[in-house]
């Protein structure tokens, strides 16, 4: 199913529009319990291709890149969020802007390794970026939320632990077992191709479910939210662009650069959970707008960007 990979951006954008519209007429709530399974199968292929031996052989270089990601997440991105917060509050309902701020402070998005793997990026670095930013979010989110919003928010530790166990540790164990078995049997490439298709199908299913479920929050605010979304897209364009520029300036190789750029993504589910718990449904709607409708769209557009760059430079 080469089509699924070659037309990833087009498929995802069509899904975003189609299922947002469809969600106004059909309830996607019954599908929510299936989301953890979709995430598992989405991230299983990246977990299988993870090469721990290669990762630890380049540990000093990887450690520096992980430290860079941690600095970006803990300092650079929150400062950028602080700079944009006042503009968000001016062009939207205050609680909607609050949701956008809290989402911008969330750790790396779970789908990041799937995008990175599909583009031929550094999967090990992408998975590491999720783990370190999830752990750092216990300090980063409440600290910067207090500085920007002047209110203490609680990060749901139970949700973080559960997410790491379900979406990182379990797929990693299963993926590495599959890697060991398939390498010994000589079927690694065959299984990898099958799992890549499964990963993409799971991601398409997840995107459909996310946009279908978030349809009401996205459409209920109407045209008044247009200016707010423009500001959100400007913010994430600068955030991803800044990360790309830093990576290029440091002379990162193509695989590392892809992983670094996708480390600028955010976990919309966590942003929505914190927004809902601290400020209520209206803030959660803002998190949906900044998450699925905001950063996820940029992540999709980056597929086209990296593919064009890869073709222009022969893969690097």
Residue located via tokens 């989110």: 141
Tens-digit pLDDT profile for residues 156-201: 778 778 878 888 889 999 999 999 999 999 999 999 999 988 988 9
CA distance 201 to 212: 16
The domain limits of the chain are: 9-309
Write down how long the chain is: 316
Predicted pLDDT of residue 315: 47
Q: Give pLDDT < 70 ranges for the chain.
A: 1, 91-93, 217-218, 220-224, 281, 311-316
Q: What DSSP designation does 29 have? A: G
Predicted pLDDT of residue 268: 84
Helix ranges, 186-295 (H): 188-213, 215-220, 226-249, 254-262, 268-279, 281-290
DSSP string for residues in 68-133: HHHHIIIIIHHHHHHHHHHHHHHHS-HHHHHHHHHHHTS---TTHHHHHHHTT--HHHHHHHHHHH
- Do the Cβ atoms of 96 and 271 come closer than 8 Å? no
- Specify the CATH class of 9-309 in words: mainly alpha
pTM: 0.81
């Amino acid at each position: 199913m080469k089509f699924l990979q070659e037309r990833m951006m087009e498929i995802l954008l069509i899904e975003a529009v189609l299922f947002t519209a469809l969600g106004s007429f059909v309830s996607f709530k019954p599908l929510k319990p299936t989301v953890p399974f979709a995430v598992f199968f989405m991230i299983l292929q990246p977990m299988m291709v993870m090469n721990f031996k290669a990762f630890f052989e380049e540990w000093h270089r990887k450690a520096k890149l992980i430290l860079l990601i941690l600095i970006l997440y803990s300092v650079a991105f929150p400062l950028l969020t602080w700079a944009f917060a006042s503009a968000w509050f001016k062009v939207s309902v205050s609680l909607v802007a609050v949701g956008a701020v809290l989402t911008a402070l969330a750790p790396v998005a779970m789908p990041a390794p799937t995008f990175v793997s599909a583009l031929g990026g550094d999967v090990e670095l992408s998975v590491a970026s999720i783990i370190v930013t999830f752990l750092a979010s216990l300090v980063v989110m409440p600290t910067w939320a207090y500085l920007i919003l002047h209110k203490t928010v609680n990060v749901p530790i139970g949700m973080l632990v559960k997410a790491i166990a379900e979406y990182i540790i379990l797929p990693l164990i299963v993926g590495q077992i599959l890697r060991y078995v398939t390498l010994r049997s000589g079927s690694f490439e065959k299984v990898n191709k099958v799992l890549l298709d499964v990963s993409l199908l799971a991601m398409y299913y997840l995107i459909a479910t996310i946009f279908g479920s978030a349809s009401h929050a996205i459409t209920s605010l109407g045209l008044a939210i247009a200016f707010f979304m423009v500001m959100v897209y400007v913010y994430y364009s600068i955030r991803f662009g800044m990360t790309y520029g830093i990576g290029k300036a440091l002379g990162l190789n193509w695989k590392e650069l892809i992983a670094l750029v996708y480390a600028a993504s955010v976990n919309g589910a966590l942003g929505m959970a914190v927004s809902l718990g601290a400020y209520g449904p209206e803030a959660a709607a803002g998190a949906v707008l900044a998450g699925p409708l905001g950063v996820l769209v940029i992540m999709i557009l980056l597929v086209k960007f990296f593919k064009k760059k890869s073709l222009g430079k022969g893969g690097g």
